[in-house]
Structure 1
Amino acid sequence: MSDRLEAHRTELTGYCYRMLGSAFEAEDAVQETMVRAWRGHDRFEGRASLRSWLHRIATNVCLDLLKGSSRRARPMDLVSPSSAGSPIGTGLPGTTWIGPVPDERVLARAGDPADTAVARESVRLAFVSALQRLAPRQRAVLILREVLCWSASEVAELLDSSVASVNSALQRARATLAASGNDLAAAPRQPLDDAQRALLDRYVDAFERFDMAALTAVLHEDCTLSMPPYSLWLRGRADVLAFLRGPGCGCRGSCLVPLAANGMPAFGQYRAGGAPWALQVIEITDGRITGLTSFLDTERLFPLFGLPPRDEA
């Protein structure tokens, strides 16, 4: 039984991550799901598939966790952009923010290319943040219908609801996401191509040499920089580079270790001397880097991504 349960762990973790916006909460939710399933497996009579039974349990776990909690967000969801010279301020609690997740924890290694593209799109930071704007049951409906491709009748059975209610919830959820610019009906982003890999190589080289002219060439003029747990964020290449020259000058001499997070390229950043500093998630659009999110909670995030506590290279 344990092997049959474990076969569903990646999909369940992706589902719970989209619901909760935190890799750590998602893993806790999946573990609770597995415990409940193991304890109740003698009552599982096979009237539904094991997959649907596990998702029913996971949905109930997530809905319980979401009761009374505030929605997670990104800095740009909470405040207006600041200038490079603005005070960084005080960090907010970790429960404020959408957190990153390693691709291998939430994305299947193989599958239909179209389904894989949708799955990758649906764990992007911006999309997961948009999901948090939905009421929890709407969130579940949209993920089950649009990402996992369940039928309306299957979702209705899982939620002890009606097909009409599920379709109504899906319609409202789609409208909310479309208004936020995060519509899965749009063409999902494809895996990195050679040009994007070359762009990332140029970014790594420029960042590690702290070459502002080279960084200018790879950053989009409207790129953003955010640094959870701080609410401050910047918009525009000029402000991002001014920040790096000023308050961010401690990044000079950094080393970047390639990773994959939220269906996007990412890097573990170690400052000169080997101290961990940030987990960077990179967004690319139209041949330029349009988003840099530096998560600074390295004490928790580096072990999650399998990164050593120091760079000894």
Structure 2
Amino acid sequence: MATNAHAQTRPGRARWWREIGWRHVVGVVAVVYCVVPILYVLSASLNPQGSLTGSNKLFRVVAAENYAALAERGFWQWALNSLVVASATAVGTVLMGAAAAYAFSRFRFAGRHGSLTALLLVQMFPQMLAFVAIFLLLLSLGDVFPVLGLNSQLGLIAVYLGGALGVNTFLMYGFFNTVPKELDEAAKLDGASHAQIFFTIILRLVAPILAVVGLLSFISSYGEFLIARTVLQTNDRFTLAVGLYQWASDERNAPWGLFAAGAVIAAIPILVLFLFLQRYIVSGLTAGSVKG
């Protein structure tokens, strides 16, 4: 009897391992892969010796000297610049993309399908391929409108908005198509204009995709380096990506402790925004993929 019970248990364990058990292993590996770098950077940020090799033993030294020294190196100005640029880009991307997607979804005009396809095809080329053209354009534009020229955060925001319009419009377009057009018709019967329908009805119904687009736009512009380094010229206009690179560019004398402390603080806004918008993320990414 004991032998038969043991023989029945072995296939049961094999089936459990084949269907469920391996997932636990993958999950543990993924957690370790994600958590260990975070712990290492956090340990380096708390090490006043300022070297990465000195942080091989995690949390061997715990001190807040690196965090206190950030203010002396202009870090908080860079953080403010990044928040302003990323927030303005996210809001502008959401408004512009939503307006364009609403027009493509609700209106019928000549060249509608061709325009939408062309808009997507143009955006398939990475924006960084045009950084030379962007530099020359802003250099010339600054002679006429200095506020939009080089070393201008407004100019950088304009570049980001132009680069994000196409793909976000196409993403929102599929979501807008899931909203019944009968709502628009009912609102028109009550005397509502297109602007009133868009701002008071449609935007509330498509809040998940607006949250997703805003979050993705914020993250991409918050950590973007190449174009920001091309446009911004002076230390007081730098974003976090550009400013932290200045610290890490010197391989021999780089203040790695300060760099790690700055990286830890720089991750907080994205983490907070993600936690705040997480309830919209799944529905915003999937609802527009089944119709349109």
Same fold (TM over 0.5): no
Q: Which has the larger share of helix?
A: 2
Bigger relative contact order (CA 8 A; separation at least 6) = 2
Q: Shorter-normalised TM-score: what interval?
A: under 0.3
Q: Which has the larger share of strand?
A: 1
